[in-house]
Amino acid sequence: MKFLGIDPGYARMGYGLIEVTGNRAAFVDAGVCETSPKQKEGERLAHMQKFLQQLLKSHSITHAALEQVFLRKDLTTGIRLSEARGVIVMNLFLAGISYSEISPSAMKKSITGSGSAQKKTVQLMTAKLLNLPAQMKIDDAADGLGLAFCAWLRWQAGQIRIQSRRKNNAPN
């Protein structure tokens, strides 16, 4: 089984992918998809679209976890973030991959034991849990891995049901 974690972002979307065999999780891939402020809005979303299509096509993903979006004071940033999240959700749907949403504090608690843990602590624990030689240098990629690991833990605990919708629910 493969679990994908996605930290939505308009300028930078982080992702992490783990593979689970028995009761062990192993690192598969992690990184970011970045867009430039010099690109037009449509170009940025299209870049994310292509990136996600390739990522989802190249791995047989069982379930995805998205970090819940919290809108703060900056409405423009919130709108852009929502647009990026829409691209992510649409791609998961078209690929037939079920997903769940996980709050940042729930992910931190699953990984470190504290919902208010610092990013550095989450990075160190994620690296330790996945037997990585060093912590992820990019926060968004580390968050993606943490989300993937948290989704796996929730699946083990029966909190997530995985329903395969591959191809049969996708529109023509």
Residue 115: both structure tokens together: 């919902």
Residue 10: both structure tokens together: 């308009």
Name the active-site residue from 7, 43, 101, 143. Answer: 7
For residue 143, indicate whether it is catalytic.
no
Q: How far apart are CA 120 and CA 33, in angstroms?
A: 21
Q: How far apart are CA 75 and CA 152, in angstroms?
A: 33
For residue 74, indicate whether it is catalytic.
no
Q: How far apart are CA 128 and CA 135, in angstroms?
A: 8
Which H, E and C letters describe 40-65, residue by residue?
CHHHHHHHHHHHHHHHHHHCCCCEEE
For residue 140, indicate whether it is catalytic.
yes
Name the active-site residue from 43, 67, 74, 83. Answer: 67
Q: Which residues pair with 26 in a beta bridge?
A: 19
Q: How far apart are CA 70 and CA 82, in angstroms?
A: 10
Catalytic residues: 7, 67, 140
